[in-house]
Amino acid sequence: MSISTKILIFLGAALAIGALVFILIKQFEISARQKSIETEVVAQKQLADDIIRAQAGWATKADIDKMGKENGIDLNVIKDDLSKMGARIDGINVVTINTTGINESNVHSTTVTPGIVDGGAPPLTIVKCPGGPTVPCPDPFGYQHYTQHLKLDEKFGSNTVPFGSVGFEAWHANPFSLQVYPRQYSLTTVTGKDDQQRDYVYNKFSITADGKRYDVKINDSKYLQEYPEAKFSWWNPRIYMVASVGIGLPAHIDFVPSLSIAMMSYGKYVNQPSWTFLSPGVGYAVDSKKVTFTINPFSYDVAQHLPLVKNLYIGPTVGLDTSSNWYLLGSLSVGL
């Protein structure tokens, strides 16, 4: 059997094993994603100073699109804008604030002020009957003497935010006056991210009215984050330091340290892929004392299953030194 035939058999077996492992891991990822979506939910929590931690959970792209439609948001507009910056939608946050409303009758005035009719004269307290004497007007509540003022407030749970006021002057043809305070609504959102790329969202809502800021309690806050799905990146060059050990032909054991560049990748995150593909490199065969050119068809990141380690890959490597000697190697790669 020729050397080239052996190398082809080695590469074929390596690719077959790699494809089988890839399929098994892909199925595991799908199962893990569904389990995470169903079970990993961070409960909503009320903190001090009317800050609320949103209920957060993983979701599919369809879940996020559904929440957008339910809240009247066309996510396609946002997606188009993000695509111009090389970004994508990661999650959606919905905040709900309720007012208690007011429905009252027989409400007394908040304050009163002395009334003045047009021209500066005091309001009339008597009327002259046609062809008869003058008759005093009964005014037991002082409506003909005082402007009635009613302060309007808006209830948010136990908090009260001023809305404006209404005035009433009974001696005018158009007796009502209305003042509504300018308002500024402010929603502040703080996000956090853990080592698993999971987001945590904190919201605080306030209203500024009549020159004063009022913190308002948030009734409900929900955040959905799209579960990261592994995908191919057809051009994702990354440099690795590689330590390879294996058989050199003619038969001998050799150690080949090298530098390689992975051209393609597959995984949840572009900057930390689970798989790398087609990694050419150059190194030095220590025993043969030869510069060696290498190619790594694929490598798998075992660090994601190990504590205290990141970007540690294993995979097969084929080498060819400057004397046309072949190497069949197993490699350990560390991303730079």
> Looking at 227, 258, 289, which one is the last position of a domain?
227
Read off the pLDDT of each residue in 59-79 and give the average, rounded to a whole number: 81
Please say whether the beta carbons of 219 and 98 come within 8 A: yes
The answer on 189 and 315 residing in a single domain is no
The answer on 214 and 261 residing in a single domain is no
Query: What pLDDT is attached to residue 284?
Result: 92
Go through 233-246 and write b for each residue having 16 or more CB atoms within 10 A of its CB, e for each that does not. Answer: beebebebebebeb
Structural domain range at position 326: 231-335
In a domain, 33, yes or no: no
In this predicted model, what pLDDT tens digit does every residue of 270-281 receive, in sequence order?
Answer: 778 888 888 898
In a domain, 126, yes or no: yes
In a domain, 17, yes or no: no
In a domain, 64, yes or no: yes
The answer on 235 and 207 residing in a single domain is no
Query: What pLDDT is attached to residue 41?
Result: 62
The answer on 117 and 262 residing in a single domain is no
Q: Looking at the DSSP assignment, which residues form a beta bridge with residue 294?
A: 281, 319
Query: What pLDDT is attached to residue 217?
Result: 84
The answer on 198 and 108 residing in a single domain is yes
Q: Is the pLDDT of residue 122 over 70?
A: no
Query: What pLDDT is attached to residue 36?
Result: 56
Query: What pLDDT is attached to residue 255?
Result: 92
> Looking at 181, 212, 227, which one is the last position of a domain?
227
In this predicted model, what pLDDT tens digit does every residue of 165-176 receive, in sequence order?
Answer: 888 888 777 888
The answer on 261 and 129 residing in a single domain is no
The answer on 324 and 204 residing in a single domain is no
> Looking at 193, 227, 261, which one is the last position of a domain?
227
Query: What pLDDT is attached to residue 40?
Result: 54
In this predicted model, what pLDDT tens digit does every residue of 306-326 receive, in sequence order?
Answer: 887 788 899 999 888 888 888
The answer on 181 and 262 residing in a single domain is no
Which of 108, 166, 112, 117 lies closest to 142, judged by CA? 112
The answer on 135 and 113 residing in a single domain is yes
CB atoms within 10 A of CB 258: 26
Q: Is the peptide bond before 138 cis (omega within 30 degrees of 0)?
A: no
In SS3 terms, the chain reads as CCHHHHHHHHHHHHHHHHHHHHHHHHHHHHHHHHHHHHHCEECCEECHHHCEECEEEEECHHHHHHHHHHCCCCHHHHHHHHHCCCCCCCEEEEEECCCCCCCCCCCCCCEEEECCCCCCCCCCCEEECCCCCEEECCCCCCCCCEEEEEEEEEEECCEEEEEEEEEECCCCCCCEEEEECCEEEEEEEEEEECCCCCEEEEEEEEEEECCEEEEECCCEEEEEEECCCCEEECCCCEEEEEEEEEEEECCEEEEEEEEEEECEEEECECCECCEEEEEEEEEEECCCCEEEEEEEEEEEEHHHHCCCCCCEEEEEEEEEECCCCEEEEEEEEEEC
In this predicted model, what pLDDT tens digit does every residue of 195-239 receive, in sequence order?
Answer: 677 787 888 888 888 888 888 888 888 888 777 777 888 888 888
Lowest-confidence pick of 119-128, 133-142, 177-186, 196-205: 119-128
Stated pTM of the model: 0.57
In a domain, 16, yes or no: no
What percentage of the chain has pLDDT greater than the value 90? 5
The answer on 209 and 108 residing in a single domain is yes
In a domain, 2, yes or no: no
Read off the pLDDT of each residue in 185-189 and give the average, rounded to a whole number: 80
The answer on 281 and 219 residing in a single domain is no
Read off the pLDDT of each residue in 82-111 and give the average, rounded to a whole number: 74
In a domain, 93, yes or no: yes
The answer on 245 and 135 residing in a single domain is no
Query: What pLDDT is attached to residue 251?
Result: 82
